[in-house]
């Protein structure tokens, strides 16, 4: 992650998210202040009722009650207005923030995802966002509302009697401090509870997803114990949080009582001596009650602001992360061409200090099929991932039809390259939507044609709802070979100039492999194709073979060339020969 920005900067930037909502913020604050003012005025009049009763001015009563009711209506109306406006604005701010975070997440490079854990990123996108959302949505409005209430009430009580006012205000620092303290100590605990709950969910999820492994190793008991341990951790922390609540909440209710007792004693004596009217005595008690909530909330608010800022910092770390791989200024679309690929003295490493590809010079002819072979870890996947610019080279260049991939827009580059991974990821959507993923405007015919080319149409039609069948979580309802063919169809529907198949047939049985191979034969027509393969039968599709060893090209040629000269190829050849006989028998 990038260097963390400073606390104050983060706070200012967070507030910056409110800029588009200045008007509605302003109106909300005015309405909030208005409703509190009506509340204060109503409370004041309640005291006047007591005075009227005390002085037997009964004719004033109906007027006073009517005025109190009218103020109540004003209060209710302004409150409703504030809730409507502020509520909508809070949701809009949340939407903006979420959009900003996700817009960044989808743009970040593969390198970023290599360096960061999914769980970490997910928590930023959810928990931290939640921490900020409430504060940004309502925090400022509440702040102004509380400050106004405290100031307004303080002013009125000082106006009534400054000595009594001092007594009631004296409680404020203590109340704010205790509320702040509560918010301060409870938060880390609540966050731990949340974290432990995530742990419980993780164990539960892994056990459900990995149920086959758990059962086949007879580890149900051990897994249950693990689960119980984590659940007990949640229990322990929750009990602790409960203990805090049991202490602080009554404490927060008790503190104002001290002030009230003082006012009852001192004020009562003043009333008895005639230096304070009964009405003012009533007012004091009511105003004191009015103060309690804002004072408590203000204390909590400070804690909330700190947490929101901490969460904001983590969110901004994502938002500020440089995109590493993005369109260079002045990038143009990849010009039309036939799909010739050239690597020129390419050196590349995931960590620049440890290259995994060394000084590779390789030219792949347009429209030809090249098989990339080599031992595991030789760098085949790495080499292929440089073409769609999943990563940038450290030295040298990769070009398509004579144009450096770094000079063209990513969208135009990737549109021309279909990548099929070994274990392709399919979305929980219909087969049709999965195939049309790269080209949402594809017609049904396009989808069916692509499926047909990939030899997938046959099995898709036997699915319960054909192309409208929704693929289950992680593609569970399709077999490995079926998933792979859907992935091939997905790559073909965009009609790319270049096709890259990474180990595409390593995980399937011979019959399926034969079917996929048939699909490929069609799919590869008029495209430059790179097949990373281990099976001889797949390699047989290629016009040429490139052998990679330890990040270097060590040989290239036709099958016949390599059969004589290359050890790696001979190894596969001996092993794969049996495969081929078997495959042909079955197919």
Residues interacting with Mg ion, by CB under 5 A? 381
Closest CA to 129 of 162, 95, 156, 84: 95
Question: DSSP letter string over 258-321?
Answer: HHHHHHHHHHHHHHHHTSS-HHHHHHHHHHHHHHHHHHHHHHHHHHHHHHHHHHHHHHHHHHHS
Question: DSSP letter string over 464-482?
Answer: TTGGGPBP-GGGTTS-HHH
Residue 165 or 548 having the CB closest to ligand TTP: 548
- β partners of residue 398: 343
Q: Does 16 bind ligand TTP (CB under 6 A)?
A: no
- How far is Cα of residue 141 from the mean position of the Cα atoms in its chain? 27
Residue 19 backbone phi and psi in degrees, to 5: -50, -45
Residue 172 or 382 having the CB closest to ligand TTP: 382
Q: Which of the listed partners (Mg ion, ligand TTP, none) does 378 bind, with a CB threshold of 5 to 8 Å by partner kind?
A: ligand TTP
Instruction: Report in angstroms the alpha-carbon separations of 96 from 14, 101, 371, 448.
Output: 12, 9, 47, 38
Could you say which of 117, 118, 216, 376 contacts ligand TTP (CB under 6 A)? Answer: 376
Q: Does 379 bind ligand TTP (CB under 6 A)?
A: yes
Residue 102 or 113 having the CB closest to ligand TTP: 113
Residues 82, 28 contacting (CB under 8 angstroms): yes
Q: Does 356 bind ligand TTP (CB under 6 A)?
A: yes
CB-nearest residue to Mg ion? 381
Residue whose structure tokens are 């679309």: 333
Q: Does 377 bind ligand TTP (CB under 6 A)?
A: yes
- β partners of residue 114: none
Residues 370, 546 contacting (CB under 8 angstroms): yes
Total residues at interface with ligand TTP (CB under 6 A): 11
Residue whose structure tokens are 């990679």: 548
| Window contacting ligand TTP (CB under 6 A); options: 55-63, 118-126, 358-366, 369-377 | 369-377
User: Among residue numbers 150 through 209, which ones bind ligand TTP (CB under 6 A)?
Assistant: none
Helix (H) or strand (E) holding 3: none
Q: Which of the listed partners (ligand TTP, Mg ion, none) does 153 bind, with a CB threshold of 5 to 8 Å by partner kind?
A: none
Residue 293 or 352 having the CB closest to ligand TTP: 352
Q: Which of the listed partners (ligand TTP, Mg ion, none) does 356 bind, with a CB threshold of 5 to 8 Å by partner kind?
A: ligand TTP
CB of residue 378 vs ligand TTP: minimum separation in angstroms? 4
CB of residue 10 vs ligand TTP: minimum separation in angstroms? 32
Give the chain's length.
587
CB of residue 301 vs ligand TTP: minimum separation in angstroms? 45
CB of residue 375 vs ligand TTP: minimum separation in angstroms? 7
- β partners of residue 371: 531, 545
Residue 283 or 483 having the CB closest to ligand TTP: 483
CA atoms within 13 A on the CB side of 281: 20
Alpha helices, H only, 493-540: 510-523, 536-539
Q: Does 114 bind ligand TTP (CB under 6 A)?
A: yes
CB of residue 116 vs Mg ion: minimum separation in angstroms? 22
Q: Does 484 bind ligand TTP (CB under 6 A)?
A: no
CB of residue 341 vs ligand TTP: minimum separation in angstroms? 17
Q: Does 118 bind ligand TTP (CB under 6 A)?
A: no
Residues that bind ligand TTP (CB under 6 A): 114, 350, 356, 374, 376-382
């Amino acid at each position: 992650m990038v260097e963390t920005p400073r606390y104050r900067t983060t706070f200012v930037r967070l507030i910056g998210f409110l800029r588009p909502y200045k008007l509605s913020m302003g109106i909300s604050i005015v309405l909030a202040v208005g409703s509190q003012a009506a509340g204060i005025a109503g409370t004041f009049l309640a005291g006047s009722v007591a005075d009227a009763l005390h002085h037997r001015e009964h004719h004033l009563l109906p007027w006073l009650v009517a005025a109190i009711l009218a103020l109540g209506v004003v209060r209710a109306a302004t409150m409703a207005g504030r809730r409507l406006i502020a509520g909508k604005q809070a949701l809009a701010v949340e939407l903006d923030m979420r959009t900003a975070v996700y817009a960044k997440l989808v743009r970040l490079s593969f390198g970023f995802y290599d360096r960061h854990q999914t769980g970490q990123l997910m928590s930023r996108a959810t928990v931290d966002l939640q921490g900020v959302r409430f504060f940004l949505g309502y925090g400022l409005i509440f702040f102004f509302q509380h400050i106004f209430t405290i100031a307004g009430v303080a002013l009125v009580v000082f106006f009534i009697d400054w000595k009594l006012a001092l007594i009631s205000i004296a409680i404020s620092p203590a109340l704010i401090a205790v509320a702040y303290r509560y918010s301060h100590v409870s938060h880390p605990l609540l966050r731990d509870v949340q974290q432990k709950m995530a742990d419980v969910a993780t164990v539960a999820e892994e056990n459900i997803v990995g149920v086959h492994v758990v059962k086949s190793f007879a580890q149900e008991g051990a897994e249950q114990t693990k689960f119980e341990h984590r659940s007990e951790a949640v229990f322990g922390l929750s009990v602790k949080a409960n203990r805090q609540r049991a202490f602080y909440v009554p404490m927060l209710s008790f503190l104002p009582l001290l002030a009230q007792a003082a006012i009852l004693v001192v004020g009562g004596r003043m009333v008895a001596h005639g230096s304070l009217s009964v009405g003012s005595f009533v007012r004091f008690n009511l105003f004191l009650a009015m103060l309690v909530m804002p004072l408590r909330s203000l204390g909590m608010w400070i804690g909330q602001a700190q947490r929101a800022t901490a969460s904001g910092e983590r969110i901004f770390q994502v938002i500020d992360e440089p995109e590493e791989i993005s369109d260079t200024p002045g990038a143009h679309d990849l010009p039309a061409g036939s799909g010739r690929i050239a690597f020129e003295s390419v050196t590349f490493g995931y960590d620049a200090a440890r290259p995994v590809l060394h000084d590779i010079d390789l030219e792949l002819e347009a429209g030809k099929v090249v098989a990339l072979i080599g031992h595991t870890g030789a760098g085949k996947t790495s080499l292929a991932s440089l073409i769609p610019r999943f990563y940038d080279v450290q030295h040298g260049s990769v070009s398509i039809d004579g144009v450096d991939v770094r000079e063209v827009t990513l969208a135009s580059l990737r549109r021309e390259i279909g990548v099929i991974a070994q274990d392709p990821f399919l979305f929980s959507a219909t087969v049709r939507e999965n195939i049309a993923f790269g080209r949402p405007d594809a017609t049904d015919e396009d989808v069916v044609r692509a499926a047909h080319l990939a030899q997938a149409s046959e099995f898709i039609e036997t699915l319960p709802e054909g192309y409208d069948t929704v693929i289950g979580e992680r593609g569970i309802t399709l077999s490995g070979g079926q998933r792979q063919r859907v992935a091939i169809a997905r790559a073909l529907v965009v009609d790319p100039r270049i096709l890259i198949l990474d180990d595409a047939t390593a995980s399937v049985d011979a019959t399926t492999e034969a079917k996929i191979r048939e699909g490929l034969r069609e799919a590869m027509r008029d495209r430059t194709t790179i097949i990373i393969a281990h099976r001889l039968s797949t390699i047989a599709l290629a016009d040429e073979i490139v052998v990679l060893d330890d990040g270097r090209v060590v040989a290239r040629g036709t099958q016949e060339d390599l059969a004589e000269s290359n050890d790696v190829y001979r190894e596969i050849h001996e092993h794969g020969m049996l495969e081929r006989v078997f495959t042909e028998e079955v197919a």
